[in-house]
Structure 1
Amino acid sequence: MKSLKLDTPKSLAQRVMLRLRQGIIDGEFALGAAISEEMVAQFFGVSRTPVREAMGQLQAQGLVVIRPQVGSFVFTPSAADIAELCAFRIIIEPKAAEFAYRHDCAGAVAAMEQAIAGMKRALAAKDNVAYGRADTAMHDVLFASCGNHYLVESYQLVSGRVAALRTNLTSPIDVQTPASFEEHRRLLHLFECGDFAAFESLMTTHIANSGRTYAQALQVA
């Protein structure tokens, strides 16, 4: 496991939560893996109290499942969970794109171009974690730029799980082929053109394909 260095001036529980959250998203903790409160406390050099609080926050985000008298585990979605998650994204992401286009088109385009540049570097390096982070940044831009905090809060309900599934299940495939990268480049082009009928169609296909990959990968696992 990588160093669990803490470097942000937040509350102790918040700092533990953020580091564990990133570890889950980056695949340091596999889907379904047990997370020992005692082990985490030792890594951080803290008591179990902030770790327990951090686990509760991660459970609220859907990233951790706490089983009383058993332990804490990284989430593992069912086929039904995946279908519902993808259906939610298909509804909300194209609408966020329309809002972002009207609210801050230039800022959104610049941020999406930066994310695509990161994806291109990760693709060349075959770095699935970096690709997953850049892919996540690309989708996050739509909400960061949309100017509607209700859309942002709705997306935050699932953003951590989506990012974790992306890095753990689709990014290892995406860095072996340019297909996903080309879809993202096309999404950016359609966004710039304001062609949201085509954007919604491609985003729907993109998310549906991801959902199938999630389900197939979890069946193999």
Structure 2
Amino acid sequence: METAARFKLDTPKSLASRVAERLREAIIDGEFALGAMIPEEQLATQFGVSRTPVREALNQLQLQGLVVVRPQRGSYVFEPSEDDIAAICEFRCVVEPSAAELAHAHDLAGTAATLRAAIDEMAQARTDRDAVRYGRADTRLHEAFFDHCGNPYLQGAYATAAVKIATLRTHLSAPADVLHPRGFEQHSQLLALFERGEFGAFRTLMHAHVTGTRDAYVNRLKARRG
């Protein structure tokens, strides 16, 4: 007991961690474009802090893959290659159906409630033509399978890519998805298959959904680059 007490730490969030949280949110929500330079001095002024916690925050985000820090040049939002996108989507095709099947066994009611709430939010975002709100709800829907799957190792594996997945969704798919019904309809179909436990069909539809997303991402990246 004495040893345990001696090593007990009170660790409130550091200033750098709070800055990192706000910057992570800004990148995911599209306040910074993919590949954009992140102005350290300007951010320090806006946050009312020195440049040190801003740099520490950027280093934290680099570990998550959201930021690329280039010595003597500055910090930039990541910009994916076509190979990066293909690898992320391949990863999703492998892990998401497995997480969904586990979530069905572990917490069917809780998962289905989260999925329905996300779809309702997506529907309202489509009505309002709000791409950021749509992207956030889309992210909640896909993350629900992991949140409710009951397997911390699967959750940890997904967490390695989750922020990149959310960022790509907001930047490259949500602006179109909020205008066109196909992706929204696929989410509703995924919910129905999940509730019925039809995981052969679920896996097939998830694969089609994610590979369609991959192709859309690649096309939009090409269009952005001219």
What range is the shorter-chain TM-score in? over 0.9
In the alignment, the residues of structure 2 paired with residue 77 and residue 70 of structure 1 have an alpha-carbon distance, to the nearest angstrom, of 19
Per-residue Cα deviation, 1:178-202 (whole angstroms, up to 9, x for no partner):
1111100000000000111111100
Per-residue Cα deviation, 1:124-155 (whole angstroms, up to 9, x for no partner):
11110000000000001011001111111111
Equivalent of 2:13 in 5, 10, 13: 10
Q: Which residue of 1 aligns with 2:144?
A: 141
Q: Which residue of 2 aligns with 1:79?
A: 82
Q: Which residue of 1 aligns with 2:68?
A: 65
Any stretches of 5+ residues in structure 1 without a counterpart?
Answer: 1-8
In the alignment, the residues of structure 1 paired with residue 102 and residue 74 of structure 2 have an alpha-carbon distance, to the nearest angstrom, of 42
Bigger radius of gyration among the two = 2
Percentage identity across paired residues of the two chains? 54
Any stretches of 5+ residues in structure 2 without a counterpart?
Answer: 1-11
Matches within 5 A, 1:7-156: 10-156=13-159
Deviation at 1:10, TM superposition (A): 3.0
Deviation at 1:48, TM superposition (A): 1.2
In the alignment, the residues of structure 2 paired with residue 195 and residue 12 of structure 1 have an alpha-carbon distance, to the nearest angstrom, of 47
Deviation at 1:110, TM superposition (A): 0.5
Equivalent of 2:206 in 198, 203, 208: 203
Q: Which residue of 2 aligns with 1:5?
A: none
Equivalent of 1:175 in 175, 178, 182: 178
TM-score, structure 2 normalization:
0.93
In the alignment, the residues of structure 1 paired with residue 40 and residue 68 of structure 2 have an alpha-carbon distance, to the nearest angstrom, of 13
One-letter code of the match for 1:114?
A: A
TM-score, structure 1 normalization:
0.95
Specify the SS of the correspondent of 1:157: helix
Runs (4+) of structure 1 exceeding 3 A deviation are none
